[in-house]
């Protein structure tokens, strides 16, 4: 009896000792990898045991028992989330488990503003160290992802929705491009496509017109009015005479130096809406949602002209005489005063 009691006491002492060691280990910062950072990928459906093995093998946690103790202590056994995790400093096992429990996965974020061409997006892609611009360009030139809505598309210009995207470390350019197209298709809803059809516009024509609106104004309140101006011109067969289309044509030809000159308005390109009536062959940029909405729900106005007021806004006119007066006031006289001040 005395021997049995002694054995129980010894077992309790041993258990207490082990518990004390585990308690110390799971609360002690640990780093068992030599690189500046360590990545651990947890696949969906991974068991707690498998997650522990991966963290221990990567040198993030000091032993499987330590990990199991931390999981028990935090109560997060059923909350550990899949994803790729980045570790770059010594962390306690408790901190590691809490990080995975929060789903604090490693993602790279990239923002594409509205109104960029896919070539300009490619430069951002490379500048953000996500990969080479040429790889993004190759993916953007494959129009296959939008052939269900635009069978005439020769590339993805207009369909790469501008937004902030969160990417995994191994996310490829083709995958990103597909995400951007999917976002466009999600936001340019069936209802919006039907509204465009009611106006006599195909999806391609609606997106093309939205790209013109995007390049002409940054003010949400003006977008439906600018869209209406262009739609009014299309109805009467009047040239769109949109400067951004000329700039796009010059960019395609490698001839744009940042300045648009009067002679450039005669540049021979199907994208030049000064020389060719109607919409250009396709989008000249990737429009945002506000411009897409403006095209399918244009303002009910009879304006045919607009000119910049040099403050980011525009003044609109119904007749050529009224427009010419606005040009004199907001362009000729304005720049004359500017030169006089110099």
Q: Is 0.75 topped by the overall pTM?
A: yes
Contact (CB, 8 A) for 273 and 280: yes
Q: Which residues contact 312 (CB under 8 A, 6 or more apart)?
A: 218, 219
Domain residue ranges in the chain = 22-102, 108-187, 190-303
What's 326's DSSP letter? Answer: H
CATH architecture of 22-102: 2-Layer Sandwich (3.30)
Q: What pLDDT does 336 receive?
A: 81
Work out the pLDDT band at 285, boundaries 50, 70, 90: very high
Chain segment 6-24, per-residue pLDDT in tens: 334 334 444 445 667 778 8
**Bigger pLDDT: 1 vs 69:** 69
Chain segment 34-65, per-residue pLDDT in tens: 999 999 999 999 999 999 999 999 999 999 99
Show the tokens assigned to 181.
């197209």
Q: Which residues contact 81 (CB under 8 A, 6 or more apart)?
A: 42, 100, 101, 102, 103, 105
Please calculate the CA angle 137-142-143 and round it to the nearest 5 degrees.
125
Work out the pLDDT band at 261, boundaries 50, 70, 90: very high
Q: What pLDDT does 15 receive?
A: 44
The answer, yes or no, to whether residue 183 has pLDDT greater than 70, is yes
Q: Which long-range contacts (CB under 8 A, 24 or more apart) does 52-57 make?
A: 55/96
């Amino acid at each position: 009896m005395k021997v049995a009691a002694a054995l129980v006491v010894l077992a309790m002492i041993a258990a207490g000792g082990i518990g004390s060691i585990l308690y110390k280990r799971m609360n002690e910062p640990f780093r068992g990898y030599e690189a500046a950072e360590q990545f651990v990928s947890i696949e969906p459906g991974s068991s707690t045991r498998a997650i522990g093995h991966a963290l221990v093998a990567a040198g993030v946690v000091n032993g499987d028992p330590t990990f199991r103790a931390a999981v028990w202590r935090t109560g997060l056994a059923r909350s550990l989330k899949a994803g790729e995790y980045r570790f770059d400093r010594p962390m306690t096992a408790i901190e590691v488990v809490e990080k995975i429990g929060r789903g604090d996965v490693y993602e790279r974020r990239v923002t594409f503003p509205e109104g960029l061409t896919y070539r300009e997006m490619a430069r951002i892609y490379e500048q953000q160290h996500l990969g080479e611009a040429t790889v993004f360009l190759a993916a953007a030139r494959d129009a296959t992802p939008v052939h269900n809505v635009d069978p005439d598309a020769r590339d993805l210009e207009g369909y790469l929705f501008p937004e902030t995207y969160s990417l995994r470390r191994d996310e490829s350019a083709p995958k990103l491009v597909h995400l951007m197209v999917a976002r466009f298709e999600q936001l340019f809803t069936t209802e919006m496509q039907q509204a465009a059809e009611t106006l006599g516009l195909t999806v391609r024509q609606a997106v093309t017109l939205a790209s013109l609106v995007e390049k002409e104004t940054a003010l949400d309140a003006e977008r439906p009015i600018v869209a209406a101006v262009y739609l009014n011109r299309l109805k009467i067969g009047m040239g769109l005479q949109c400067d951004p289309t000329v700039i796009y044509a010059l960019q395609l030809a490698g001839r744009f130096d940042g300045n648009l000159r009067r002679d450039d308005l005669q540049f021979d390109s199907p994208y030049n809406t000064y020389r060719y009536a109607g919409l250009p062959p396709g989008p000249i940029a990737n429009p945002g949602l506000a411009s897409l909405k403006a095209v399918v729900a244009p303002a009910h106005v009879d304006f045919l002209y607009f000119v910049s007021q040099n403050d980011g806004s525009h003044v609109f006119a119904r007749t050529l005489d009224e427009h010419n007066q606005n040009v004199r006031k907001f362009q000729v006289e304005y720049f004359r005063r500017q030169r006089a001040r110099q």
